[in-house]
Amino acid sequence: MVRDGRRRERLRWSKLYSFSCIKPSVVLDTEAPNSLSGPGFSRLVHCNQPKAHTKKSLNYPSNYISTTKYNIITFLPKAIFEQFRRVANLYFLLTAILSLTPVAPFSAVSMIAPLAFVIGLSMAKEALEDWRRFVQDMKVNARKVGVHKGDGRFGYKHWHKIRVGNVVKVEKDHFFPADLLLLSSSYEDGICYVETMNLDGETNLKVKRSLEITLPLDEDEAFRDFTATIRCEDPNPDLYTFVGNFEYDRQVYALDPNQILLRDSKLRNTSYVYGAVIFTGHDSKVMQNATKSPSKRSRIERKMDRIIYILFTLLVLMSLLSSICFAARTDLEMPDWWYLQPENTTNLYDPSKPTTSGIFHLVTALILYGYLIPISLYVSIEVVKVLQAMFINHDLHMYDGDTGIPAEARTSNLNEELGQVHTILSDKTGTLTCNQMDFLKCSIAGVTYGLRASEVEIAAAKQMASTFPDENSINHYLLENNGGDFESAEIELDGGITFAVEKARKTMIKGFSFEDDRLMQGNWTKEPNAATILMFFRILSLCHTAIPELNKQTGGISYEAESPDEGAFLVAAREFGFEFCKRTQSSVLVRERYSLPEKPVEREFKILNLLEFSSKRKRMSVIVRDEAGQIVLLCKGADSIIFDRLSKNGRMYEDDTTKHLNEYGEAGLRTLALAYRELEESEYTTWNIEFLKAKTTIGPDREAQLERLSDWIERELILVGATAVEDKLQKGVPQCIDKLAQAGLKIWVLTGDKMETAINIGFACSLLRQGMKQICLSTTNSDLTSEDAKKALLLSLANDQAAKENILMQITNASQMVKLEKDPYAAFALIIDGKTLTVALEDDIKNQLLNLAIDCASVICCRVSPKQKALVTRLVREGTGKTTLAIGDGANDVGMIQEADIGVGISGVEGMQAVMASDFSISQFRFLERLLVVHGHWCYKRIAQMICYFFYKNIAFGLTIFYFEAYTGFSGQSIYDDWYMLLFNVVLTSLPVISLGVFEQDVSSEVCLQFPALYQQGPRNLFFDWYRIFGWMGNGLYTSIMIFFLNTNIFNDQAFRAGGQTADMAAVGTTMFTCIIWAVNVQIMLTMSHFTWIQHVFVWVSIAAWYLFLAGYGMSSPLISGNNYKILLEALGPAPVYWAVTLLVTAACNTPYLAHISFQRARNPHDHHVIQEIKYYKKDAEDQHMWRRESSKARQETKIGLTARVDAKIRQLRGKLQKKVSSLSIRTAR
Amino acid sequence: MNCIVDSDIGSSSSSGDAAVALTRKPRRPKYSKFTQQELPACKPILNPQWVISVFTLIGIVFVPIGVASLLASNGVVEIVDQYETACVPRNMTNDKVAYIQNADIDKTCTRLIKVPRDMHQPIYVYYQLDNFYQNHRRYVKSRNDAQLRNSKEANETRYCDPERTTEDGSPIVPCGLIAWSFFNDTYRFTRGDQKLTVNKKGISWKSDRDHKFGKNVYPKNFQNGTLIGGGKLNADIPLNEQEDLIVWMRIAALPIFRKLYGKIELDLKENDTILVTLKNNYNTYIFNGKKKLVLSTTSWLGGKNDFLGLAYLTVGGLCFFLAVAFTLVYMIKSRKLGDPSDLSWNRDSSGADYELFRDFTSSIDS
């Protein structure tokens, strides 16, 4: 069975292929081996002798990979070190250590306990995250692969057990476990197909080819006695180079990248390959490429650090001030304070040494006023962010039922950054599109077939329908008023599409969404141009390089094609009744069925030549001999190329086809033109002799010769028609882009695809539309370099300079054009290709490029390398200084994802690299809308408010301690009990602020989505600007003053109870603390706008906890509670003054804020205020028209997206209408 | 729509795919109102009625409390007599410190005070010290609660530096600076011939007597050293009955403080003259501290304290003012709540891209 399968696949592609990477076999043997010398080329691999690599000098690392930050031993020291890299934590550590000395104003436990709690929590989080990475690594390490175990037997081994020198057998659709030297494959000529999506994001398959000499090693048995030696370069991160020699049978052969299979790429279309392991584990190229993911911090957190520095400065100033005062008083007054026994003091209070005492006091003061720095801020933020991340992970609206993957916040420290995004840089394949092609429409003999609309048209129609619910009335109106004079074709589009929308899609055949009864079920035979249609189907079924694969379960045939387009064509041909069923070395078998009841006829076509596709040629052809003996050249390719090569009588359908191609293009479809040519036997023979000669030529002009010959035969073509394939967008992509654009986000597309494809997708996503001015930047003379390598080398310097000037000129011209544009509706799109980008990204012109790009509504970069993606991202991030978000799915997006402020990975596709490098992963692009507009918006506001409140509360508390110092001779005594201080941040005020950070919603998620303009509050940073921050700090200052001075004045010297008792320090301190608890908790209630039971519970529990604690503390042994023994129940509780002061101070502290926000809301309401009010009075339900109108207005001015497209359409219609009306009126006036 | 790349090309399944499949098992998050952030919530907004009524309410509550406080404060009769300078003999006014430190000089001093209004019993007697830093960190720490509570822990003198032990090393009870600097001026009151007894029982907190100061703890080695601080204690009376000490050991928050000395349980009439015989023992001269004797009645709010009432009236008054101000604000420039025309995109007319929309719809309507 196995051997049968093998026979079937024993194709020698090299006989068919003419170009691509396959060199004629003769070349190899004579080619001189690479000279390997010098550093960097020291690696020696003994193939099939893994034991040889246990010796010292050749003991290369194993194939075990680890991406974790810590291991069990290093975790504790490393994680602790990480924690104390935060300045605030280091400060708290110092204070904790100092608290063990008499310098400290507080007891040691009250300093150490909160710190331990905070650090412990953060470390637990680190450990959890690292554990996840470890599990991921383990999964990879535990993958299995067949390894030669000796005596020609192969057995499965875990990846991590593979050593350098092993011979492995990799099966189809499996990943290569390490960097391998390809020895042989299931194909006779040792080629194999490799998918390198994880490395460079390219989806088309690449062909690798083994050395001729190792071809016989194509069976397990053959490896019994196989030994060879590889000398090659040392591990390096360059994916596209490899230099090495292969010594076998005392001969040396040169190795090049063609023989190297890289780890994490995948074997496709090939049953199996044998390979020798060269680089393992972290030596492999892909791992060498892995950069440490940078730790990213959000804008808010960076600003928060700055605030903390400000507070530190304040702290130091306050400490200095109080130390100077202390030293002065100690020096001047303390000798008189006999009750302190100044003559018997230690250094801390020695009046004879005021400087020393002052310095000691400085340390004390730094600890004492430390409450200004919120110790629990970091940990609270961490807790809040983890909970926010939990909400993101659990959001059912971001759960993809098809793949079963929910969204995931992989790092929680960027949640609020999601609310401040300015530019989105998106990958195309796999992100915007599914990389699945659907045959949708075709144009044959000048007639367009295929009724189904592309997704973008449907989306636009829907948008139109929702904007104008009575859209038909518009059409009617237009038609009536013009008495049918109006060109109805203009409106036809909309009506037709709405029809298509309503029509439910039939059961899907993958790759085929064509719907037109004229061609299906053999009906095409009744069409007028049946012969042309037949030729069209023949081209579809013959002109390709795919291999059919029989599905044993269903009996159907699936195709393994080099590109998904080709697969779609074959599926389409099958559905039309031309089923490609078998390929042999020299022929293709097609089952043709002209009409349904007929039995299919199996026809064999001899494949004479195959001129395969390359990005330069932009076409492919096959030359076949049909059963009648007629030789035909069948060709498909880019329309521009094909149209150039048509014969005079082959241009019959050119005009119609061109029109159709334009239509397809605007609908975002990928188009190819099909043509054929009938060849005379003699003509073919002459050509073939020449061609074979060229194929076997050795030397540099081989390529050029082949090119010339193919050019010779691929001409005088007859146009048949064109195909339109939909590069299937992911679900909801156009709508999502529309919403994001309305939220004021800029969207750039960076793709490795060619320009045409990128433009198609631009149309499909509504990033481009008809009427948009496209600025294409490209290098003009790029072909020259490849044509003549030698000349290019000489000219390259001059060329570079010229190219640069050329590009600079293009940019300047374009900028000029944009600036001079007067029409407010004019939109520009910048399309730039990778080659141009290499030049344009150079330091001296990149800013001009950026300025131009910023002026353009949409930017599309095509043919960009992963590195360039990262560079473009950096350019945007650094150039604009705004938050960037990069989204992608493949390993080629990793650089971009890491470079951007936020990286989002699309999960659910095969490769995990993008997801592993990302900060957030979602399974569909459309979830980005909710992630940003809902979660981002919420998280931003939550964190911003939370941080502001934190500073407020700690300033309010910390300053009271400072004021009190002035009354104690700056001695460093705190008015509060140590326990109060300990509990303040950790227990008494932490829960409400966490509930603010986790649950606050200014408006509901639906409103966020309906009013995308609200998102702009984030990028404009309305809630964390300095004005607001200082406002909150001022509020804290005010509160502290109120609390302290009201209390001290009331408790000044008088009795505070009817029983005549005066208040001691414990009573004053406790009352003051009660006031603080009330003031800050009432404050947070005023800050919140959304109260679920959780907020209520947290706030009230915090206040209640204080009284409970006080009662409990008072009841504990007086040895613990000291002067606070029974303070609440005996001393304060029964005193009316205590309660009166609490009420007074709370009111005095909070009324100004209340007045402020009431006034703000009354005079300058924010949008969310108004919306809250609308919702509160349920006006949205009463006046739905108003609600809809406002939500459609609530968007940023944008020139991209569906809505803009619809607007443009409306403008166009209006323009026409007005012209008509005016011309009518002129006519009637006459 | 299924978007997995190439999911059904190539039917062979293998261990690698199985591993991938394992991670692919549906991980549908469970629905709950909590995780979807859809918990029912109360979303109050600051509408005018609410704002005005809150301020009015605060005013309504605060002004009466303020008035009541002021009335209570006014009802309190308070006599303050500052005596530290007056009690220094005329010949020693230039060297008060020498006077106070000279043990041979009799420190007795008499003062006459006049009762301004009727004072109803109990009349509280206080002493007030100014510029005395009981809240100094060195001072605050210098005590040991364990020792005060339990006679068995007499040796427990931690934190009591520098007043821990005598020179021979035996522990001082009560140790520490606070006790050592115990206030020791005494007062006796007579009205004409009638001796006004000062009741010193119950001037301290009951919890202090019952739980903090032991009933079998007697002063030991107290004020025996070379450096004598303040007052001495009767070594035969247990600490929990030494209420003056208990009161003294409740350290004051501010450098000006009053402490309860005792109660006179007799009514005093207006214009009564009271003769105070005091022993001016305590040295405040060295740090320029004042000493005052205070006789005061109390109200339900405690002593004479106008500040509380005034503060209440101020806050209440301001809130009334704010209520009025906001009424005016809402009346003069009234903003209809939830009026869409206040939305930012309606306010700045320049950014109305959707003019187009309105033009178009209106052109249809017409």
Which string of b and e fits B115-128 if b means at least 16 CB within 10 Å? beeebeebbbbbbb
Q: CB A1194 to CB B128 under 8 A?
A: no
- Considering only A32-41, A1138-1147, B99-108, B223-232, which range has the smallest mean pLDDT? A32-41
DSSP class of residue A748 equals E
Bond into B162 cis (ω within 30): yes
Q: Is A390 on the interface with B (CB under 8 A)?
A: yes
Is-contact A914 A890, C-beta < 8 A?
A: yes
Confidence of residue B1 (pLDDT cuts 50, 70, 90): very low
Q: In the predicted model, is pLDDT for residue A2 greater than 50?
A: no
Residues 6+ apart with CB under 8 A from A89: A83, A115, A118, A119, A378
Q: Is A105 on the interface with B (CB under 8 A)?
A: yes
**What is the reported pLDDT for A1081?**
94
Rounded to an integer, what distance in angstroms lies between the CA atom of residue A579 and that of residue A540? Answer: 10
Q: CB B302 to CB A1058 under 8 A?
A: yes
Tokens matching residue A588: 């293709």
Which of B2, B4, B8, B9 is most worth mutating to test chain A (most A CB atoms within 10 A of its CB)? B9
- Considering only A6-15, A331-340, A653-662, B299-308, which range has the smallest mean pLDDT? A6-15
Confidence of residue A463 (pLDDT cuts 50, 70, 90): low
Distance from CA of A507 to the nearest CA of B (A): 11
**What is the reported pLDDT for A596?**
63
Q: CB B305 to CB A1054 under 8 A?
A: yes
Rounded to an integer, what distance in angstroms lies between the CA atom of residue A1115 and that of residue A1121? Answer: 8
Find the mean pLDDT for residues A256-279: 86
Average pLDDT, chain B: 83
- DSSP one-letter string for A545-582: --EEEE-TTT--EEEE-SSHHHHHHHHHHHHHTEEEEE
Tokens matching residue A158: 């875990």
Q: CB B19 to CB A143 under 8 A?
A: yes
Q: What number of residues does chain A have?
A: 1230
Percent of chain A with pLDDT over 70: 89
- Which candidate in A264, A427, A833, A1180 is catalytic? A427
Is-contact A1054 B6, C-beta < 8 A?
A: no
CB neighbour class for A194 (10 Å; exposed up to 12, middle 13-18, buried from 19) = buried
- The C-alpha R_g of chain A, in whole angstroms, comes to 38
pLDDT digits (tens, 9 = 90+) for B274-302: 999 998 888 888 888 899 999 999 998 88
Distance from CA of A91 to the nearest CA of B (A): 23
**What is the reported pLDDT for B357?**
44
Q: In the predicted model, is pLDDT for residue A246 greater than 60?
A: yes
Rounded to an integer, what distance in angstroms lies between the CA atom of residue A558 and that of residue A701? Answer: 39
Angle, CA A1214 vertex, CA A1210 and CA A1215 arms, to 5° = 115
Half-sphere exposure of A1135 (CA within 13 A, CB side): 29
Q: CB A910 to CB B5 under 8 A?
A: yes
Q: What's the N-to-C CA distance of chain B in angstroms?
A: 45
Q: Position of tokens 């929590």?
A: A121
Q: In the predicted model, is pLDDT for residue A794 greater than 80?
A: no
Q: CB A1125 to CB B27 under 8 A?
A: no
Closest CA to A88 of A306, A296, A297: A306
Out of A196-210, A711-725, B64-78, the most confident range is: B64-78
Confidence of residue A18 (pLDDT cuts 50, 70, 90): low
DSSP class of residue B264 equals E
DSSP class of residue B40 equals -
pLDDT digits (tens, 9 = 90+) for A1008-1061: 888 888 898 889 888 999 999 999 999 999 999 999 999 999 988 888 888 888
**What is the reported pLDDT for A917?**
80
Scan residues 257-296 of A and list those with Cβ closer than 8 Å to B: 268
CB neighbour class for A706 (10 Å; exposed up to 12, middle 13-18, buried from 19) = middle
Distance from CA of A1057 to the nearest CA of B (A): 4
Residues 6+ apart with CB under 8 A from A1204: A738, A741, A766, A769, A827, A1198
Beta bridge partners, A145, equal A157
Q: What's the N-to-C CA distance of chain A in angstroms?
A: 88
| Cα B356 → chain centroid | 65
Q: Are strands A260-261 and A266-268 parallel, antiparallel or unpaired?
A: unpaired
Rounded to an integer, what distance in angstroms lies between the CA atom of residue A606 and that of residue A623? Answer: 8
Instruction: Tell which phi-psi region holds residue A972, choosing left (phi > 0), alpha (psi between -120 and 50) or beta.
Output: left
Tokens matching residue B135: 């809240």
Q: Is A812 on the interface with B (CB under 8 A)?
A: no
Q: What single letter denotes the amino acid at residue B233?
A: L
Output phi, psi for A1018, to 5 deg: -75, -60
DSSP class of residue A235 equals P
pLDDT digits (tens, 9 = 90+) for A158-174: 988 888 888 899 988 88
pLDDT digits (tens, 9 = 90+) for A475-511: 444 444 444 333 333 333 443 443 344 444 445 677 7
Q: CB B253 to CB A1069 under 8 A?
A: yes
pLDDT digits (tens, 9 = 90+) for A347-360: 778 888 888 888 88
CB neighbour class for A982 (10 Å; exposed up to 12, middle 13-18, buried from 19) = buried
Q: CB B15 to CB A144 under 8 A?
A: yes
Q: Position of tokens 């049918």?
A: A484
Chain A residue with CA closest to B326: the answer is A1159
Q: Position of tokens 């193939």?
A: A47
**What is the reported pLDDT for B23?**
44
Neighbours of B170 (CB within 10 A): 13
**What is the reported pLDDT for A909?**
65
Half-sphere exposure of B359 (CA within 13 A, CB side): 11
Scan residues 1084-1103 of A and list those with Cβ closer than 8 Å to B: 1089-1094
CB neighbour class for B201 (10 Å; exposed up to 12, middle 13-18, buried from 19) = exposed
Rounded to an integer, what distance in angstroms lies between the CA atom of residue A950 and that of residue A1007? Answer: 28
Residues 6+ apart with CB under 8 A from A974: A105, A106, A368, A961, A964, A981, A1069
Which residues in chain B have Cβ-Cβ distances shorter than 8 Å to A1046?
A: 311
Q: Are strands B194-196 and B186-191 parallel, antiparallel or unpaired?
A: antiparallel
Find the mean pLDDT for residues A1068-1096: 93
Q: CB A143 to CB B30 under 8 A?
A: no
Chain B residue with CA closest to A397: the answer is B36
Confidence of residue A734 (pLDDT cuts 50, 70, 90): confident
Distance from CA of B128 to the nearest CA of A (A): 8
Sheet holding B108-114, edge to edge: B108-114, B273-279, B186-191, B194-196
E strands along A999-1123, which residues? none
Output phi, psi for A580, to 5 deg: -75, 115
Tokens matching residue A434: 């599914």
**What is the reported pLDDT for A330?**
87
Q: What number of residues does chain B have?
A: 366
Which string of b and e fits A1127-1145 if b means at least 16 CB within 10 Å? bbebbbeebbbbebbbbbb
pTM of the model: 0.83
DSSP class of residue B127 equals E
Q: In the annotation, is A738 catalytic?
A: no
Which of A195, A268, A1062, A1094 is most worth mutating to test chain B (most B CB atoms within 10 A of its CB)? A1062
- The C-alpha R_g of chain B, in whole angstroms, comes to 37
Q: Distance of CA A443 to CAs A448, A493, A663, A720, B86, Å? A: 4, 18, 11, 8, 119
Is-contact A720 A657, C-beta < 8 A?
A: no
Chain B residue with CA closest to A1213: the answer is B360
Confidence of residue A404 (pLDDT cuts 50, 70, 90): confident
Q: Is A47 on the interface with B (CB under 8 A)?
A: no
Q: What is the ipTM of this complex?
A: 0.89
Tokens matching residue A1044: 């302290």
Which residues in chain A have Cβ-Cβ distances shorter than 8 Å to B339?
A: 1170
Q: In the predicted model, is pLDDT for residue B12 greater than 70?
A: no
pLDDT digits (tens, 9 = 90+) for A938-992: 999 999 999 999 999 999 999 999 999 999 988 888 899 888 888 888 888 888 9
Helix (H) or strand (E) holding A690: helix A681-696
DSSP class of residue B109 equals E
From the list A346, A402, A1063, the residue facing B2 with the nearest CB is: A402
Closest CA to A541 of A599, A603, A586: A603
Which of A925, A978, A1054, A1153 is most worth mutating to test chain B (most B CB atoms within 10 A of its CB)? A1054
Q: Is A1147 on the interface with B (CB under 8 A)?
A: yes
Which of B138, B158, B294, B365 is most worth mutating to test chain A (most A CB atoms within 10 A of its CB)? B138
Tokens matching residue B182: 């115990």
Scan residues 544-603 of A and list those with Cβ closer than 8 Å to B: 549, 551-553, 558-560, 567
Q: In the predicted model, is pLDDT for residue A443 greater than 50?
A: yes
Chain A residue with CA closest to B162: the answer is A344
Closest CA to A1118 of B241, B205, B234, B335: B205
Q: In the predicted model, is pLDDT for residue A118 greater than 90?
A: no
From the list B4, B333, B356, the residue facing A1163 with the nearest CB is: B333
Chain A residue with CA closest to B57: the answer is A1147
